[in-house]
Amino acid sequence: MDKPEISPDFTIEDIHKIREYHYELTKDMTFEGRAAFYHEGAKEFQKYIAERKREKELSSVMSD
């Protein structure tokens, strides 16, 4: 299944597309496989948030 296209308005239909996409990705995984899949995604998201936080702090220092 291809990654779903999300509309700029992010509608309830987009949420349904994302949920269906994740279901298709994980439906044949074992419990351990699903846990690893979501754990890895969470780690990537935490890295993304940390980077955004650093960028925000840097931009606030540069503007002072």
Give pLDDT tens digits for 9-63.
999 999 999 999 999 999 999 999 999 999 999 999 999 999 999 999 888 877 7
pLDDT of residue 1: 79
The pTM score is 0.67
Cβ proximity of 41 and 49 under 8 Å: no
Closest Cα to residue 21, out of 47, 6, 36, 2? 2
pLDDT of residue 64: 64
pLDDT of residue 37: 95
Amino acid (one-letter) located at 22? H
What DSSP letter does each residue of 1-64 carry, written as one string?
A: -PPPPPPTT--HHHHHHHHHHHHHHHTT--HHHHHHHHHHHHHHHHHHHHHHHHHHHHHHHHH-
